[in-house]
Structures are given as structure tokens and as C-alpha cells.
Amino acid sequence: MKFSTQLNKTISQQARDLIDRGLDRHIRLAVTGLSGAGKTALLTGLLEQLLYANDSQNLPFWQVKQQQRLIGSRLVPSEHWSVARFDYEAAVAALTAEPGRWPHSTRDVSEIRLEIKYKPAGGLASKLSEQRKLTLDLIDYPGEWLLDLPMLEQSYQQWSEQQSRLMQQQPRRDIFSGWLKRLQESQHNSQDDDAALRRLAEDYRQQLQRCKTEFGLYFLQPGRHLLPGELADAPALDFFPWPQQLRLSNRWQQQLQEKYDYYQQQVIKPFYKNYFQGFNRQIILVDLLTALETGEAALSELKLAVSELMKSFQYGNNPLFRRLLAPQIDKVALVASKADHVSPDQHPAMRQLLAQLLQGSRQQLEFNQIQHQLFSVAGIAVSKPGQLNDGTKVLDGVIADQQPVRVGAPPVPDSWPNQQQWQQGFAYPRFYPAFTMAQSPLPHMRLDQLLDYMLGDKLR
């Protein structure tokens, strides 16, 4: 009886969600970003501003707030009981702890749901009701798993060819040189094919980890090699791309092909189907500063990774029928994160560099007539910009030991750096949070502009 009651509640909630989507009162907003892009901080910042908007004095561009039409927001249970709730409270507790720390990075899929109550701006809606509600779902997922989505469109042969080309470029050539030798030796000498493939897959995983930790590379597949989740030690991960310069033996070809197909159909496809179908809006978060610090190879891979990733999403307009049955992403925010690590006068350069980095993807959005806009934001702003008497731009914040510091604000190139700039290198400060609960809603940079762009047309 208890199960029946819960089932009826779930079905009833799903029916209400379907009606709200048809009436344009329900948005599923995906925050898409690679590992380290700042997704958790951005989601926490968005929730802070939404929940405590009426207490904030720092939302000048969010029209529903400025027009005094915002009644309030609250967290409500999601319909997806099998999906973990985004732990907003734990993130705020970390940011306001003594000493303050950044929340843990995303390790699994999570989501959180809000209801926003507001007064219609006018027209027929204001005559039908004095107030309305907009349901907002925010979805978060590991950046490592995101990068597997392009594999859905590739055969094992195509994927291997792509990865082989990358392995021939530095620094991957040096990283994988030892693995390639061990692979060739195992192919000739191994008596136990299953054990050899398992050992080589683990070896490959270690080299991918080096690509990430030692060289800051981004386009690392399969993503579950870096963050396996429930697949830790599972045979589903015992595969790797076959280097095109080596001849693939028949006895290994079938096993590698079968493992790849299984991973593609039983791991990536359900992940895509369960979490990536049904989005209405999307924030694509890009950490330019870390890539610039790491070097040209990292920035090149960041460009490749984000461009390939954007090919995996369904973009299009959402008339009523499509909204109900097969919604597509109809508005995109392209966001340069961690804007508080440079001075405000460098934010236009961040947006220009992001525009160049995503030029091909933006052209495709324009061709499909998908609204998109560039932003530079900080979900949680941990520094304050200033200026010395001589005009020097500075940033005030705290570093890892909670010591206050003042540093010169570093520049950001507004286009792809030239060789001289790469040789000189880029360096950006590492600030840490130093807040108390009394400061809630926590400070941000331009989240009001982002909120108005993402939700403004639905709150009229």
C-alpha cells in the first residue's frame, strides 16, 4: 500500500511536470563544464542568489527582482528519486567554514529543484492570475563523464584513429611512448590475452591520469578511466584505443571491439538518455585561466574538448509539441568562469578569447538560430578588485593559509596568445573563500546578468 501511494505521487508529479512544460513553466537547466571548470561553485552561487534574492543588493540586472515582481524562491523535492540531490547545504558549509574551503568537485550526477514565485509583468497572464510559479531543475554531473558523449557517434576504429592522432602530438607522444612499447611486447609475448588486456587497460588509465595531473590536458577518453564511479574494477573498463601504427591481432580485435561496444551501449548511452534528453537551457562553463597557465597544448585541448562536447547536445526551437515530447536546448550561455581572479577591466578580454575558442560551435548555433551569449562570471567571488594611486590594478583576497594578500591583477589575452606570450607564460592567483553565514547571499560577479538571460523571458 505504501509503495502504491509513493508510485501514485510520482506519477502525479510527472503529470504536473508535463503540464508545466507545456505551459512553459518548467525549465531544466544543464550546467555543462569539464572537470575543474567551477560547476559546483556556479551552482551554489546561482542557488544563493535565487533563494535570497530579496535580501541581496547586488542583482541590478535581474529584471524580475528590480521590478519588484519576485515574490520568492524555495527548494522543493525533485521527481527523480533515483538521482542524488545536489548538496547545496554542504557546499555553503564548506565556503563559510573556518578556515574556508572550496566544496568537493562533482563525483556523480545530482540535481536540485526550485520553485520561483513571481508576479506577471502584464498582458493576459496578469489578468488570469496575480502570481505564477516557474519550476527550475539544475543538473550537475562529472566533467570526466561528459567527454564520453562524442564516443556515441564513433566506431571503435574511428575512435582509435582519433586517439592515435592525439598520441602522436606532444606532450602525449612522450607520455604514451612507454605504454606503446609495453603494448607491442605484450601482443607478441602474452599467453593470457584477458590478463594482458586488463593490465594494458590499467596502464593506459595511468597514462591518462598523467595527461591530466602533470600536463593539464582535457580531451581524455574514456572518462570512466579517470572517474569510474560504480564501474571501479569492472571488466567494462578493460579496453583502450588501438594505435594505428601497430597491427591489431585478430585475437585481440574481437575483445577490444566487444568491450568498446558494451561501454558505448551500456554505459554512455543510458547516461545520455537519462540525463541529457529533456534540457531546455544550457550553461557551458569554461575555465580559460587554468588552461592559459598550463600552456598552449592545454588551451588547444580545451578548445577541442568543448567543441566536440557541444556536438553531443540537441539544439533547436521548442514549439508546444516539442516542449512536451522532445524538448531541445533553445538558449545557451557561454561562460568564462573564475572572473574574480582577474580585474574587471580584463573581463572583456576573457569573453573575446572565449568567443575565439568556440568560434566553430558559435557558428553552428547561429546557423541553427539558437540564442547564445558570452559571459564572464564568478559563481562565488573570493576577491575584491582595487586600484593603487599610480593606477595599478590589484586584487585583495586570502590564500591557502587564510592570510590576506594583495596581488597585482594579471592580464588576459583577448585572442590566441603568440609564441612570445606563451614563452613568458601566464599566472593567476589562487584565492580561497573566507566567508561567514552572515554574509549570505555570498558575493558573485554577474550572476544577475546570467539569471536574467537564462530565465528572464520565462518570468514575465
Distance CA 397, CA 383 (A): 5
Q: How many CA atoms lie within 13 Å of 434's alpha carbon, on the beta-carbon side?
A: 16
Distance CA 111, CA 67 (A): 29
Distance CA 167, CA 177 (A): 9
Q: Where are the beta strands (DSSP E) in 26-85?
A: 26-33, 70-76, 84-85
Q: Which of 66, 13, 33, 19 is nearest to 306 (CA)?
A: 33
Q: What per-residue confidence (pLDDT) applies to 11?
A: 45
Q: What per-residue confidence (pLDDT) applies to 245?
A: 85
Relative to beta strand 84-85, strand 110-118 is parallel
What domains are there in the chain, each with its CATH number? 15-147+276-458 (3.40.50), 156-272 (no CATH)
Distance CA 456, CA 134 (A): 11
Q: What per-residue confidence (pLDDT) applies to 119?
A: 95
Distance CA 298, CA 336 (A): 16
Q: pLDDT per position in the chain (460 positions), as tens?
A: 544 545 444 444 444 444 444 446 899 998 989 989 999 999 999 999 999 999 998 999 999 999 999 999 999 999 888 889 999 999 999 999 999 999 988 888 899 999 999 999 876 655 567 899 999 999 988 889 989 999 999 999 999 999 999 999 999 999 999 999 999 988 887 677 889 999 999 999 999 999 999 999 999 999 999 999 899 999 999 999 999 888 877 778 889 999 999 999 999 999 888 887 778 899 999 999 999 999 999 999 999 999 999 888 878 764 443 444 456 899 999 999 999 999 999 999 999 999 999 999 999 999 989 999 999 999 999 999 999 999 999 999 999 888 999 999 999 999 999 999 999 999 999 999 999 999 999 999 999 999 999 999 999 9
Q: What per-residue confidence (pLDDT) applies to 18?
A: 45
Q: Which of 114, 130, 124, 118 is nearest to 63 (CA)?
A: 118
Q: What is the pTM of this model?
A: 0.89
Q: For residues 268 and 149, is the Cβ–Cβ distance under 8 A? A: yes
List for the chain the helix, strand, coil content (%; round to 5): 50, 15, 35
Q: What per-residue confidence (pLDDT) applies to 265?
A: 95
What are the Cα distances from residue 119, in Å, to 38, 67, 133, 455? Answer: 33, 10, 9, 14
Q: What per-residue confidence (pLDDT) applies to 130?
A: 83
